[in-house]
Amino acid sequence: MATHTLTVDLGDRSYPIVIGTGLLDSGFDLFCYLEGSGCLVISNETVSPLYLHKLKKCLTNDEVRCHSIPDGEAQKSLATVEAILDELVETRAGRDTTIIALGGGVVGDIAGFAAACYMRGVAFIQVPTTLLAQVDSSVGGKTGVNHPGGKNLIGAFHQPRIVLIDTDTLSTLPDRELRAGLAEVIKYGAIADIDFFAWLETNMQPLLDRDAEALTYAIRRSCEIKALVVAEDERESGKRALLNFGHTFGHAIENSMGYGEWLHGEAVAAGMVMAAQMSGIDEDELGRLTALVDAAGLPIRPPLAGSARLREAMQMDKKVQANQLRFVLLRSLGDAFVTTEYSAVALEEVLSMADA
Amino acid sequence: MATHTLTVDLGDRSYPIVIGTGLLDSGFDLFCYLEGSGCLVISNETVSPLYLHKLKKCLTNDEVRCHSIPDGEAQKSLATVEAILDELVETRAGRDTTIIALGGGVVGDIAGFAAACYMRGVAFIQVPTTLLAQVDSSVGGKTGVNHPGGKNLIGAFHQPRIVLIDTDTLSTLPDRELRAGLAEVIKYGAIADIDFFAWLETNMQPLLDRDAEALTYAIRRSCEIKALVVAEDERESGKRALLNFGHTFGHAIENSMGYGEWLHGEAVAAGMVMAAQMSGIDEDELGRLTALVDAAGLPIRPPLAGSARLREAMQMDKKVQANQLRFVLLRSLGDAFVTTEYSAVALEEVLSMADA
């Protein structure tokens, strides 16, 4: 199958997203994207046994060091980044070193932030191995870690040199994580492309069956949309906020449940249905979104933890967001907008979905 | 006396450097440079009692919080930045918060890095109160902290919104620190402006006597040169390295003595004489540089700690710099260049200045 290359257009910091099957097996030349000859791979204990030896074939370095961290969101802390910086200093990595992230969103966020901070910024490469990372977190340069007081509060914008997406890596991804990734794929259709949304309605089963052609197309279209938005608004001063469709409610769900209980994609899935309902789009379209989320095996309503807990979590978010909650709402499927003005009644109605 | 405003030209991230006397006393309107209404001042225990109340007059916020750290280079650690991030999270500072650095280079570097990392970057303002910070570290966006393995190994480029230089703050600066700042002032003349160098030869005594007009001119010309260099090469891929004249030897001196023994400016002063000698410029010019450094009350040779220690410190630096030592040398006074090709014999001769 063909390899597709997209470009994230950011002037002299533009970079390619290369999408295809068998890229790691065929020894894709990643070496030419390194700044110098040295690199450090950041991965985790689940992914590195599966793919590190393949990644090494894409690099012609004599020795490729790998810093492997335990799996899970709990690792996304400043302490983990510090340990990576310590290793870089200990091995005397120079300004010309390159950090390579091999793994999902957590690995990419941590590795990218370490790359952003070491010697005021060294080169960075993303090799995402989960669907969520491939369609969302690996593209666009957001890096960072969590603070006990909130998610992603510490970080930097640091764009990679290349995003290398080998769809074969999805073969080892647990079903639940595949579905969580599909939430973000559905998001792109819902906010920006009704045709893609319709394609997803037709092709959800092949996607769940991990049909390589369907997955490649879904990833490619998702990355195309994300790349366009990021090129227009790298630092989220405007349009990039559209990518947060479903995320205000999603974060509230994640926060109120404790992270890890619901996967990010699951929380976003329910959050998208809530945001669509709050938008007051017509019933047909709301039904289509709900049905597609359901077909992906994702939750179509928040956990029955009570609206009070969600409201509280949103108040916390609100304070962090400088006292204004911002929602991404839909005019119709495929047409989203950002607003701080919303109906309090509609919000309460949606939050009540969490009451038994 | 007039207020001078320069611009650091970085496209949509351009910012002014405002230089003058009495700026804090007269309530310069700093509020209009804040992103939102909230801000956090970072200062130290020496500076905040002297100038925080004046800075507050420049802000019309109801309440201005100040995070004060102990004085000294030892504070320039990731732990200090973490404590600032903790305070930002605890006080629920939003994306629209502004961090204001009130102090010398250490405070500016720490505050700037915290601003770069909080929520992937918030607004930042520099109010430098030492000569070194006014002519060097506050301009150009270099921020960061030290790692036990080396200086400034962790950091980010994060440009301020404005650099506000009130030369009155120099009235409380210890003599030794004033002289250390003059080392960087001399550097600008030596690398880029023979006329400014000649002006310094004539005006060293008024500068040491803290004549306001002389200081203002010296700061202005230094900032002009730095602003031009930074505008051309923000991330030090080329020309900006010229600003490191005297710094390869200077860092070796600081490293081999233990930080704090010699001030940065003192080490750079001796380093400039060493670099000029290694350059093989004519004896007259070498004599002029040596005499000017001496007139500023700064060391004209390295400490007599033995060339072996300096050589060792430079080897460490070399490893960090990806195996190549880079020197800034002079063709003549006012005309510097960067090179990795140098005479090993000339280097040895210069290092032997450290032998008794």
The rounded distance, in Å, linking the Cα atoms of A274 and A338 is 15
For an interface test with A, the pick among B117, B158, B314 (most A C-beta atoms closer than 10 Å) comes out as B117
Residue-wise pLDDT for A182-235, tens only, equals 999 999 999 999 999 999 999 999 999 999 999 999 999 999 999 999 999 999
Residue-wise pLDDT for A60-107, tens only, equals 877 899 999 999 989 999 999 999 999 999 998 998 999 999 999 999
Give the largest Cα separation in chain A, rounded.
63
Catalytic residue check, A240: yes
Mean pLDDT rounded to a whole number for chain A: 94
Amino acid at B290: T
Q: Which of B121, B143, B319 sits opposite A92 (nearest CB)?
A: B319
> Does the beta-carbon distance from A85 to B322 stay under 8 Å?
no
Q: Model confidence at A321, in pLDDT bands (50, 70, 90)?
A: low
pLDDT at residue number B319: 55
Task: Look up residue B279 and give its two tokens.
Answer: 């350059």
Number of neighbouring beta carbons within 10 Å of residue B299: 20
Which residue does chain A place closest to B93, by CA atoms? A320
A197 plus A158 within the same structural domain: no
Measure in Å the smallest separation between the Cα of A146 and chain B Cα atoms.
10
Which residue in B244, B285, B288, B309 is the catalytic one? Answer: B244
B192 plus B325 within the same structural domain: yes
The rounded distance, in Å, linking the Cα atoms of A24 and B267 is 50
Give backbone dihedrals phi and psi of B134, rounded to 5 degrees, phi first: -70, -40
pLDDT at residue number B291: 98
Indicate which CATH number applies to the domain containing B244. 1.20.1090.10
Indicate which CATH number applies to the domain containing A141. 3.40.50.1970
Q: Is A63 left (phi over 0), alpha (psi -120 to 50) or beta?
A: beta
Residue-wise pLDDT for B125-169, tens only, equals 999 999 999 999 999 999 999 998 888 999 999 999 999 999 999
Q: Going residue by residue through chain B (356 aa), what tens digit of pLDDT does each one get? A: 689 999 999 999 999 999 999 999 999 999 999 999 899 999 999 999 999 999 999 998 778 999 999 999 899 999 999 999 999 999 989 989 999 999 999 999 999 999 999 999 999 999 999 999 999 999 999 999 999 888 899 999 999 999 999 999 999 999 999 999 999 999 999 999 999 999 999 999 999 999 999 999 999 999 999 999 999 999 988 899 999 999 999 989 988 886 668 999 999 999 999 999 999 999 999 999 999 999 999 999 999 988 999 998 887 765 555 567 889 999 999 999 999 899 999 999 999 999 97
pLDDT at residue number A319: 55
Residue-wise pLDDT for B306-319, tens only, equals 899 999 888 776 55
Q: Which of A86, A95, A155 sits opposite B322 (nearest CB)?
A: A95
B20 plus B155 within the same structural domain: yes
For an interface test with A, the pick among B92, B96, B237, B321 (most A C-beta atoms closer than 10 Å) comes out as B92
Percent of chain A with pLDDT over 90: 86
Using a CB-CB cut-off of 8 Å, the residues of chain A touching B110 are: none
pLDDT at residue number B22: 95
Residue A183 lies in a domain: no
Residue A239 three-state SS: helix
Q: Model confidence at A47, in pLDDT bands (50, 70, 90)?
A: very high
CB contact at 8 A, B331 and B284: no
Residues A302-329 have a mean pLDDT of 81
Catalytic residue check, B147: no
Using a CB-CB cut-off of 8 Å, the residues of chain A touching B97 are: 322
CB contact at 8 A, B178 and B31: no
A33 plus A163 within the same structural domain: yes
Which residue in A76, A161, A179, A264 is the catalytic one? Answer: A264
> Does the beta-carbon distance from A95 to B156 stay under 8 Å?
no
Q: Is B321 on the interface with A (CB under 8 A)?
A: yes
Q: Find all residues with CB under 8 Å of B328, minimum gap 6, and list them.
A: B191, B241, B242, B244, B245, B246, B247, B248, B275, B336, B337, B338, B339
The rounded distance, in Å, linking the Cα atoms of B180 and B205 is 15
Amino acid at A90: E
Cα B41 off chain centre by: 19
> Does the beta-carbon distance from A38 to B322 stay under 8 Å?
yes
Q: Is B150 on the interface with A (CB under 8 A)?
A: yes
Using a CB-CB cut-off of 8 Å, the residues of chain A touching B80 are: none
Helices H / strands E in chain A, number of each: 12, 11
Task: Render A177-207 in DSSP notation, one character per residue.
Answer: HHHHHHHHHHHHHHHH-HHHHHHHHHHHHHH
The rounded distance, in Å, linking the Cα atoms of A34 and A37 is 7
B98 plus B231 within the same structural domain: no
The rounded distance, in Å, linking the Cα atoms of A351 and B46 is 51
Which of B151, B172, B193 represents a domain boundary (last residue)?
A: B172
With CA atoms as reference, report the closest residue to A189 among A135, A231, A241: A135
Any alpha helices (H) in A21-170, and if so which ranges? 48-57, 78-90, 105-117, 131-132
CB contact at 8 A, A251 and A317: yes
B147 plus B61 within the same structural domain: yes
Amino acid at B277: Q
Residue A265 lies in a domain: yes
With CA atoms as reference, report the closest residue to A161 among A8, A347, A272, A331: A8
pLDDT at residue number B325: 84
A147 plus A50 within the same structural domain: yes
The rounded distance, in Å, linking the Cα atoms of A142 and A323 is 23
Q: Which of B89, B147, B322 sits opposite A153 (nearest CB)?
A: B89
Residue A184 lies in a domain: no
Which residue does chain B place closest to A236, by CA atoms? B120
Q: Is B237 on the interface with A (CB under 8 A)?
A: no
Catalytic residue check, A236: yes
Q: Find all residues with CB under 8 Å of A71, minimum gap 6, and list them.
A: A44, A45, A46, A106
B159 plus B264 within the same structural domain: no
Q: What are residue A103's DSSP bridge partners?
A: A128
Q: Is B157 on the interface with A (CB under 8 A)?
A: yes
Question: How many residue pairs bridge chain A and chain B with CB atoms within 8 Å of each other?
Answer: 93
Which of A172, A204, A225 represents a domain boundary (last residue)?
A: A172
Q: Is B82 on the interface with A (CB under 8 A)?
A: yes
Could you list the residue range(s) of the whole structural domain that residue B158 is in? 4-172
Give helix A247-257 / helix A307-320 axis angle, nearest 10°: 110
Q: Find all residues with CB under 8 Å of B82, minimum gap 6, and list them.
A: A78
Residue A262 lies in a domain: yes
A157 plus A225 within the same structural domain: no
A112 plus A59 within the same structural domain: yes
pLDDT at residue number B316: 72
B52 plus B155 within the same structural domain: yes
What's the domain count of chain B? 2
Residues A134-155 have a mean pLDDT of 94
Q: What are residue B69's DSSP bridge partners?
A: B44
Q: Model confidence at A315, in pLDDT bands (50, 70, 90)?
A: confident
Q: Beta-strand (E) ranges in chain A?
A: 4-8, 15-20, 39-44, 65-69, 98-103, 123-128, 142-147, 150-157, 163-166, 327-332, 335-339
Residue A180 lies in a domain: no
Residue-wise pLDDT for A179-193, tens only, equals 999 999 999 999 999
Kind and range of the H or E run holding A345: helix A344-351
Amino acid at A18: V
Kind and range of the H or E run holding A318: helix A307-320
Q: Is B155 on the interface with A (CB under 8 A)?
A: yes
Q: Is A142 on the interface with B (CB under 8 A)?
A: yes
Which of B124, B145, B172 represents a domain boundary (last residue)?
A: B172
Residue A157 lies in a domain: yes
> Does the beta-carbon distance from A120 to B321 stay under 8 Å?
no
Using a CB-CB cut-off of 8 Å, the residues of chain A touching B323 are: 94
A320 plus A224 within the same structural domain: yes
Residue A186 lies in a domain: no
Q: Which of B36, B90, B118 sits opposite A154 (nearest CB)?
A: B118
